[in-house]
Structure 1
Amino acid sequence: MGEVTILKALLATAWLLCVPADQITDYSSTEEVAGSSRLVTCACENRPNCPGTCSGHWCFFTVVHGVQSRGCFEQAQYETCRTARIPGLHISCCNNKDLCNEDLTEPKVPEVKPPASETGPDSVIMLVAVPLLLLLIVAMATCALVLWLRSRKPHYKDDDDAAMMKIPAGADPNYGDIFDEFCTSGSGTGLPYLVQRTMARQISLVECVGKGRYGEVWRGTWTGESVAVKIFSSRDEQSWFRETEIYNTVQLRHDNILGFIASDMTSKNSSTQLWLITHFHELGSLYDFLQYSSLDPEGCLRMCLSVASGLVHLHTEILSTQGKPAIAHRDLKSRNILVKRNGQCCIADLGLAVIHSQNNDYLDVGNNPRVGTKRYMAPEVLDESIRVEVFESYKQTDIWALGLVLWEITRRTVVNGIVEEYRPPFFDVVPSDPSFEEMRKVVCVDQYRPSLHNRLCSHPILSTIAKVMKECWFQSPPARLTALRVRKTLSKLDQDADQSTEKLKQDV
């Protein structure tokens, strides 16, 4: 405390010596001082360039935290004697006789205890201890909740036991009550924000399962569950910010949208890493799945319908207390769709998403400099005729890409013992990494569309899907189907297929 007092005294003294006199105010002098034009000789000490006496209109005596000083004021500085308001500073003035300030002394001030607001050692201890105690209580309660939830969760001896579960539509057996208990019920999706800020310290990274221009995807473990950790590269940080913003402010919990858990930053090797933590699906992306798997027509329909359902949820604005604005994906492709264990799909990667609320009349396109994937770009994007100020335009580009994804799925569907190898859209007319100009020529100038194998026409499910994808590829954006129309068509097809299967069982 002694060092603090000395420091205050030095600062106050320096202030008094340096600040212009008309800016100093006095609070301790109780005399009413009258103006005077008469010069008096004053005692002078502890002042710069002061030989012992000086001449002025006023003599002053100051005490700054025990440091005394005497000197002269000019007539213009008279207000200084009455108006100083600096704690620890005392100023008294006189001009009734020469050297009158030699007789001035500091008045005795009764001892006043510091107010309760001042932070003494005890106060500091309380300020630190109370939040720490509360934090400890919250941490213990959270741990107890996690342990309790884990005790309620069923365990399976092996994957066959898990496969025998009755899985609700779209649910994934890797995730039990813990996510539902922790996930917020407000407008956002995932864990509460403050919990998200600690996620990186709770996750153990196990293996890298994917790499790309965006960064890496790792399988990690958290509270005994596998989770996906998408680690963004520094050049793609805007995508991380965009996905974090959307997931934390928009209600996106849907069977066919990738389940979000948390978003966090962590430091590794003196650099900051941006993490997006989501549900983990071991079958990987639709692109990966189609490389090594083929489908029957019913499995093809299930996949196509689930992608369309996810896109409908994105495109639809929901007006309610827990509603959501409409969202256009802008980078829909098989690499950004994940395959779940029940054969359905979920849409991922919202780093380029556009948000629109008709109710609040706003369009938020974000500020991500990244563009979508050229191979999946619609004609109006390639020829730059898209109306960027109209939200419907972005939805129409999603429909174009949806048609290409349906084409990829149907290629890998077995009909009459025939199935084609996986190939990306336009594989037969552009190189593996096509340029913007190459895609523009093929799609806009030549108006080329992916070819459809004859076998699709021989099956009622695939022939209908083929018709749908053609109506997603119209050159004119308004002529294309909406996501809702695609879902309704495929839903009816699914119902008809179920009825046909049931009738066949009854006949047998």
Structure 2
Amino acid sequence: MTSEIPRKGLLMLLVALGLTKGGVVKASKDQLVNCTCENPHCKKPTCQGAWCTVVLVREQGGHPQVHRGCGNMNPELCLGRPTEFVHHHCCYRSFCNHNVSLVLEEPDVDPPLLLILGPVLALLVLVALGALGLWRVRRRQEKQRGLHSDLGESSLILKASEQGDSMLGDLLDSDCTTGSGSGLPFLVQRTVARQVALVECVGKGRYGEVWRGSWHGESVAVKIFSSRDEQSWFRETEIYNTVLLRHDNILGFIASDMTSRNSSTQLWLITHFHEHGSLYDFLQRQPLEPQLALRLAVSAACGLAHLHVEIFGTQGKPAIAHRDLKSRNVLVKSDLQCCIADLGLAVMHSQGSDYLDIGNNPRVGTKRYMAPEVLDEQIRTDCFESYKWTDVWAFGLVLWEIARRTIINGIVEDYKPPFYDMVPNDPSFDDMKKVVCTDQQTPTIPNRLAADPVLSGLAQMMRECWYPNPSARLTALRIKKTLQKLSHHPEKPKVTH
């Protein structure tokens, strides 16, 4: 009987199929597909290659193991017939290797050998059953002691399901993280995602839908991406799983999962749920006292400053520019602070390597919030600072939306979006270009803001966010510090009804 595949032969095979670092050969971007990546060399739960691969291998002295990843060389290997040691499968659509199962051929064994092996196998089965029973006892004891399971799945999930406790915060605050980003381990994310029940749809748009979901009695938000916005799901998943983004003013990430429901693939992003909804929704319903307006503005600025700054060290993060900042992508938490959401268009930059990661998303930002250099197509796309400057322009528009809804001397105006009196409800690129670039218009700042020292400071800040010269605009850090200085009144903001 032939011996099992040796480790050296396995390594050569995995290299040939692109499942180790040594097997990567660059392909043109328009040929690349996204694949599930589950093998010892995966740095992320997904990868990109010329095709997706699944390899089932029986190593020397071991059990069959499944390796999923991306292939980039020698497609002829994909045509090989399965043997008792290896079976490989290739496919050419994004994530087509996600749920593929393979089976190794059964080895041929001569009848006399079976007669000899029969009693030995029976004894081995009895030993295995005894070991299994012992393992189950120990496993139960481990669960009771709160240890992590073999899959890396936190026992907090088990405790929550057995006792009905509220465990989401404990799960996210525990040491059960990937080590590379702010997300839970990939297997735990999938476990959590599949325990979520959708309760009600709370928002719809071109991007897809947002639902309020329930996980062991706790509310979570589930963003279900439309099929045409797959790259946004991929980008957010990538950033949340590789970057330490835990911050009070950045939307809290829980899990990401691609699942098949109703015979179609659904892309889920599960985050903290905030019942007030977006800042856009909140401003429709709620006039603001000046101190509440300032609280919303300061907290949003803190989130933007955290995104923009690069933090060095093992607990660090690259600098991130949002590229689609608007009141719909800012959420209002129960403590009336803001947090920034939707990183589907974000770009990342690290000074050390001077590497600019712009992602692979064909979607563009929201036209109403586009800076003049974007509208007249003069932005330097190879310069990371350029993207931060466009965020600051958009942040000035968000400040304008907040200031307009603030009560001064008993007077407040209805909510309106920026440029509401200059462009149609759904403005085209050319509509915005004419107003912002040709006519060099900015939203009208209400005169009544001058009557309040806090809001007059806010008005001046808007003007400094809207300079036509991008490099002259305020930085997010300067905005944050200036707003914090304005925020010196002790009274706590209240929601008025």
1:244 aligns with 2:237: yes
**Partner residue, 2:285:** 292
Q: TM-score, normalised by structure 2?
A: 0.68
Secondary structure of the corresponding residue to residue 387 of structure 1 = coil
**Partner residue, 1:331:** 324
Aligned amino acid, residue 320 of structure 1: G
1:82-481 mapped onto 2 (5 Å cutoff): 145-146=156-157, 176-181=169-174, 184=177, 186-481=179-474
The C-alpha deviation readout for 1:221-271, integer Å capped at 9, x for no partner, is: 112210000001111010000000000000000000000000011211111
Q: Distance in 2 between matches of 1:339 and 1:234?
A: 28
Secondary structure of the corresponding residue to residue 244 of structure 2 = coil
Aligned 8 A contact 2:405 2:414 in 1? yes
Aligned 8 A contact 1:336 1:347 in 2? yes
Aligned 8 A contact 1:408 1:425 in 2? yes
Aligned 8 A contact 2:207 2:226 in 1? yes
Secondary structure of the corresponding residue to residue 364 of structure 2 = coil
Aligned 8 A contact 2:322 2:345 in 1? yes
**Across the two proteins, how many residue pairs are aligned to each other?**
370
Aligned amino acid, residue 273 of structure 1: Q
Q: Distance in 2 between matches of 1:251 and 1:152?
A: 31
Aligned amino acid, residue 282 of structure 2: F
The C-alpha deviation readout for 1:332-364, integer Å capped at 9, x for no partner, is: 000011000111100000000001011222110
Q: Distance in 2 between matches of 1:136 and 1:425?
A: 59
User: Which region of structure 1 is more displaced relative to structure 2, 129-138 or 378-387?
Assistant: 129-138
The C-alpha deviation readout for 1:188-211, integer Å capped at 9, x for no partner, is: 113222101222320111111110
Aligned 8 A contact 1:149 1:177 in 2? no
Q: TM-score, normalised by structure 1?
A: 0.67
Q: Distance in 2 between matches of 1:363 and 1:123?
A: 57
Aligned 8 A contact 2:178 2:184 in 1? no
Q: Structure 1 residues 306, 131: CA separation in 2 closer, same or farther (over 3 Å shift)? A: farther
Aligned amino acid, residue 471 of structure 2: P
Q: Distance in 2 between matches of 1:406 and 1:153?
A: 42
Aligned amino acid, residue 425 of structure 1: P
Secondary structure of the corresponding residue to residue 174 of structure 2 = helix
Aligned amino acid, residue 393 of structure 1: S
Aligned amino acid, residue 309 of structure 1: C
The C-alpha deviation readout for 1:275-313, integer Å capped at 9, x for no partner, is: 000000000001111101011000000000011100010
Aligned amino acid, residue 277 of structure 1: I
Secondary structure of the corresponding residue to residue 349 of structure 1 = coil
The C-alpha deviation readout for 1:156-198, integer Å capped at 9, x for no partner, is: xxxxxxxxxxxxxxxxxx9643431265272311322210122
Aligned 8 A contact 1:199 1:264 in 2? no
Aligned 8 A contact 2:301 2:476 in 1? yes
Aligned 8 A contact 2:159 2:165 in 1? no
Secondary structure of the corresponding residue to residue 395 of structure 2 = helix
Secondary structure of the corresponding residue to residue 273 of structure 1 = strand
Aligned 8 A contact 1:200 1:265 in 2? no
Q: Distance in 2 between matches of 1:287 and 1:420?
A: 15
Q: Which has the larger radius of gyration?
A: 1
Q: Structure 1 residues 131, 152: CA separation in 2 closer, same or farther (over 3 Å shift)? A: closer
Q: Distance in 1 between matches of 2:157 and 2:321?
A: 36
Aligned amino acid, residue 381 of structure 1: V
Shift of 1:139: 7.3
Q: Structure 1 residues 211, 390: CA separation in 2 closer, same or farther (over 3 Å shift)? A: same
Q: Structure 1 residues 439, 132: CA separation in 2 closer, same or farther (over 3 Å shift)? A: farther
1:488 aligns with 2:495: no
Aligned 8 A contact 1:153 1:176 in 2? no
Q: Structure 1 residues 221, 371: CA separation in 2 closer, same or farther (over 3 Å shift)? A: same
Identity among equivalent pairs (%): 67
Q: Distance in 2 between matches of 1:370 and 1:388?
A: 15
Q: Structure 1 residues 131, 213: CA separation in 2 closer, same or farther (over 3 Å shift)? A: farther
The C-alpha deviation readout for 1:71-90, integer Å capped at 9, x for no partner, is: xxxxxxxxxxxxxxxxxxxx
Q: Structure 1 residues 399, 123: CA separation in 2 closer, same or farther (over 3 Å shift)? A: farther
Secondary structure of the corresponding residue to residue 210 of structure 1 = strand
Secondary structure of the corresponding residue to residue 487 of structure 2 = helix
Q: Distance in 2 between matches of 1:131 and 1:193?
A: 29
Q: Structure 1 residues 299, 124: CA separation in 2 closer, same or farther (over 3 Å shift)? A: farther
The C-alpha deviation readout for 1:85-106, integer Å capped at 9, x for no partner, is: xxxxxxxxxxxxxxxxxxxxxx
Aligned 8 A contact 2:164 2:216 in 1? no
Q: Distance in 1 between matches of 2:268 and 2:161?
A: 25
Q: Structure 1 residues 464, 122: CA separation in 2 closer, same or farther (over 3 Å shift)? A: farther
